[in-house]
Structure 1
Amino acid sequence: MIRPATPADVPALHTLIRELADYEKALEEAKATPDQLHEALFGPHPAAHAHIATDDTTDEPVGYAIWFLNFSTWRGVHGIHLEDLYVRPTARGAGHGKALLTELARLCVERGYARLEWAVLNWNTPTIAFYESIGARPQSEWTTYRLTDEALTTLGTGTQGTGK
């Protein structure tokens, strides 16, 4: 079953996010707290949305999708950027990942959004094969860039190249 997350799901979401970070060999980078997650999803100005995949027999969360709206200047409409898609290893192969993506695609169609986009680590070949099996194609003509930590602070405070 796929359903929108509720505030009561924040502890489970936090646990699942840390499991994903561990799977992606980056647990030390997963610094978000449950309070931050709650604020981002359910605060007065939500920055993101989440859906939960639950086990059919126990109703326990086994996966999640966290997403937010993006905007295509070329298409003139919103799209969905899927930040995280994760299903616990013990629940893989039961259709939860596809069901989460299907729900997001349904939202795109229902709301007139032009795109559903996400990124995947190059080494994650089982996931790449899954995405390609549902018709997703890599966008190889684009390279993702990211500013974080010291580089972000340096640029954002104007101290780059000033000798400070």
Structure 2
Amino acid sequence: MTREVRAFAVTVLTIATLGLGAGLLWSGVSPRAPYQVTEQGLVLADPSTQALIAADGWFAVITGGLGLLCGGVAWFAGRQWMLAVLLGLCAGGVLAGWLTLWVGSTFTIGAVAVEAAAAPGVTIVPGALRLTASGVLVSWPLVAVGFFGLLEGMHGYRESPLRQPYGGSL
């Protein structure tokens, strides 16, 4: 029982650590939406900007790619404790997604360039990263668990006696 708990904890902590780096990467590659400073606060300067959608897309690509990597590594490394590693992939992926969102929206890495047509005397500032499509938060655990299941299904089929014609009687 302690080996399973250890496998679960190591999986969750390893994936959560990757989430911190993923947040910095997301902050570095995602564009910032331009906001206009007004008396009422910040207002989106260009309502037709694609920066908000691009930030969601980069989040999904980064976390989905890392989920694919984590699912494959976990299947190859955790063959002895399948259930503990699978649950760790799910819990660690959820935690890593939230950490990626928090780190990426808290820290600004890389160059921040804002281009928007503004009236003279209007201040345009870059906005903080945020997700407009909250469904991409589950891309890490969804891809990791899905790829883990795909690998296990292919391995189980390869070793199955049902794969042989007529139950292996030939």
Q: What's the TM-score once normalised by structure 2's chain length?
A: 0.28
Bigger share in strand: 1
Bigger share in helix: 2
Q: Rg larger in 1 or in 2?
A: 2
